[in-house]
Chain A
Amino acid sequence: MYHGTAHTVGAHIDTDAIIPARFLVTTDPDELGANCMEGLEAGWIKKVKKGDIMVAGENFGCGSSREHAPVALLGAGIPVVIAHSYARIFYRNGFNMGLVLLEIGDDVSKIHDGDELKVDADTGVIQNVTTGTTIQCKPVPPFMQGILDKGGLIPYVQDRLAERA
């Protein structure tokens, strides 16, 4: 269960907005996190508390396939993104890095900047505490949940390999 404040951003947010190329000189999550969304708005990250939730429009994470983008969000303390929809490679990279990604289509309009949200990734239920509404998205399939539970694709593969050995 995740519990945090919603931070809304618009549609077609590209990976350059999430983490501009000039910050790609490192792969350190904390350093990347400190510059998260710097390509959208200078100092954006200052309004975020650890555990807060990103809420985005259509096609979140489009553009370059850099794996640094989901790492920056995680490094910024954002464990969950809720979006209308995702760009394909970002979606994969996000899951692989252990970021929870929920896709809710037009229901995204039911969440406003600053709303208090509770997210149950297992059941796919998003509770908007501020407005008293509930949004049901497709639960993350057990297989994907397994990757998240392990902390991302690298530890997941480590475990799978150990099982096979």
Chain B
Amino acid sequence: MPATLAEKILQQHSDEQITGPGQIVRCRLSLVLANDITAPLAIKSFEKMGAAAVFDKDKIAIVADHFTPNKDIASAEQVKVCREFAKKMGITHYFEGGNVGVEHALLPELGLVGPGDVIIGADSHTCTYGGLGAFATGMGSTDIAAGMALGETWFKVPPTIQVILTGTLRQWVGAKDLMLALIGTIGVSGALYKALEFTGDLATALSVEGRMTMSNMAIEAGGKVGLFPADAKTLAYAAAHGRTGDVALAADPKAVYERTVTINADGMEPQIACPHLPDNVKPVSAVAGLPIDQAVIGSCTNGRIEDLREAAAILKGKKVADSVRCIVLPATPNIWRQALAEGLIETFMAANCIVGPATCGPCLGGHMGILAGGERAIATTNRNFKGRMGSLESEVYLSGPAAAAAAAIAGEIIDPAKV
């Protein structure tokens, strides 16, 4: 039977014969992930299960990224639980101090996730690794505990929506804009229970980082995974990040899709998701002129080096408006160092940006950039739910890095081509 990417990857990790969507299959796990918020709950379930050890101490990752450096006593206690568990279990991939970064930027960079892997994480944006051709998805705490104990989990084989990316991106329009356009088209439950599979000339043309930006937001369309084929670019990325033995991966030519959606980049403006749902998407020209109080450039969606380069290209030689706090959070220590070496940090500082550590920080309204009532932010993050970045009376507009940097300079939402 011709298989979609999702079916193909699951089949490689299962002893059962996959016959099509809806079937429930048991799969071996390549990696199990939890963070400082979700790991403590998973550890509780793990202990209830009576497990003495994790299935493989090299295949668990615990990343204390959400509130680190710990913002208060409660978060410090949570991280302590993680640390003690990691130590007791001998977990190799534990990150808390100078090695910590936003989990979904960190794990690809360390080569811990890659093409053909099956990964579950107690974090909904685990789907990011689909950009590398990994079947990766978020789950609840008890599922993660079972994964840590057994090294396997069950999946319902998802039907797949094929997304054809086509056309040419104009300057300052990128992967984030394509994904916002898709979410605006299919809606926040448009891919509920389903896999998204990206294909087309433009999918091939995107960088691996851009692909991860798109896969990251599969969950904002309700999706289980957002998969790109693993091609020569993916394999080069994986090899450059220390992996060996990866092979190319593509759907079978006659694979059956539930439906096909085409996103054409020709003439596409930068896209902005307006409050309070990620599918409330408008072209930048429709919201230009709205004053902002804060711009956030970072997160698992757009905190990678390419994103910082794009933001720096806009900010170079300019100043952030006096009325705006522009917060730049490189997503991992490696990205931070690279940004320093390339002079990007210098550009940000010269433009009066606030450059912070690699943390989730304001993305989830954690710390380092919380909004007051009535304040408005533009952010390169992935969720603009009511109160996501602070006060219930604040607003978050989602965009790509160029539009966020441009707004920081102008003090209002603006087409980056105009600054």
Give the number of chain A interface residues (Cβ < 8 Å).
25
| Binary interface encoding of chain A residues 130-144 relative to chain B, with 1 for a CB under 8 A from any of its CBs, else 0 | 000000001001011
Do A91 and B146 have beta carbons less than 8 Å apart?
no
B292 to nearest A CB, angstroms?
A: 29
* Chain A residues near B350 (CB-CB < 8 A): none
* Chain B residues near A89 (CB-CB < 8 A): 138-140
Q: Count the A-B residue pairs with Cβ separation under 8 angstroms: how many?
A: 67
A96 adjacent to chain B (CB < 8 Å):
yes
Do A88 and B192 have beta carbons less than 8 Å apart?
yes
* Chain B residues near A141 (CB-CB < 8 A): 23-24
Binds B, one of A17-25, A40-48, A152-160: A152-160
Q: Which of A96, A144, A156, A158 has the most CB of B within 10 A?
A: A96
Q: How far is the CA of A52 from the CA of B140 in the complex (A)?
A: 26
A65 adjacent to chain B (CB < 8 Å):
yes
Do A144 and B51 have beta carbons less than 8 Å apart?
no
Do B140 and A157 have beta carbons less than 8 Å apart?
no
Q: A59-B192, A161-B49 are in contact. Are A153 and B143 (CB under 8 A)?
A: yes
B150 adjacent to chain A (CB < 8 Å):
yes
Do A96 and B142 have beta carbons less than 8 Å apart?
yes
Q: How far is the CA of A92 from the CA of B141 in the complex (A)?
A: 11
Q: A157-B51, A158-B50, A161-B50 are in contact. Are A88 and B193 (CB under 8 A)?
A: yes
Q: A85-B193, A138-B22 are in contact. Are A93 and B140 (CB under 8 A)?
A: yes
| Binary interface encoding of chain A residues 26-62 relative to chain B, with 1 for a CB under 8 A from any of its CBs, else 0 | 0000000000000000000000000000000001001
Do B141 and A157 have beta carbons less than 8 Å apart?
no
B262 adjacent to chain A (CB < 8 Å):
no
Mark out the residues of chain A between 74 and 97 whose CB falls within 8 Å of any chain B CB in the assembled complex. 85-89, 91-93, 96-97
B323 adjacent to chain A (CB < 8 Å):
no
B125 adjacent to chain A (CB < 8 Å):
no
Do B149 and A161 have beta carbons less than 8 Å apart?
yes
B153 to nearest A CB, angstroms?
A: 9
The residue of chain B having its C-beta at the shortest distance from the C-beta of A141 within the complex is: B24
Q: Which of A62, A87, A89 has the most CB of B within 10 A?
A: A89
Do A144 and B154 have beta carbons less than 8 Å apart?
yes
B221 to nearest A CB, angstroms?
A: 12
Q: How far is the CA of A137 from the CA of B154 in the complex (A)?
A: 20
B147 to nearest A CB, angstroms?
A: 10
Q: How far is the CA of A140 from the CA of B149 in the complex (A)?
A: 24
Do B142 and A67 have beta carbons less than 8 Å apart?
yes
* Chain A residues near B207 (CB-CB < 8 A): none
The residue of chain B having its C-beta at the shortest distance from the C-beta of A27 within the complex is: B44
Q: How far is the CA of A153 from the CA of B224 in the complex (A)?
A: 21
B139 to nearest A CB, angstroms?
A: 6
A-B CB proximity, top 5 nearest:
A157-B49, A141-B24, A93-B140, A157-B146, A96-B142
Interface residues of B (CB under 8 A from A): 22-24, 26, 45, 48-52, 124, 138-143, 145-146, 149-150, 154, 156, 189, 192-193, 222, 224
Can you report 11 A-B residue pairs in the complex whose CB atoms are below 8 A from each other?
Answer: A59-B192, A85-B192, A93-B143, A97-B142, A153-B143, A154-B48, A157-B49, A157-B51, A160-B150, A161-B49, A161-B150
* Apart from the given pairs A143-B24, A157-B49, 13 other A-B contacts in the complex at a CB distance below 8 Å: A67-B140, A86-B193, A88-B156, A88-B193, A89-B138, A96-B146, A138-B22, A144-B154, A153-B143, A153-B146, A154-B142, A157-B51, A161-B51
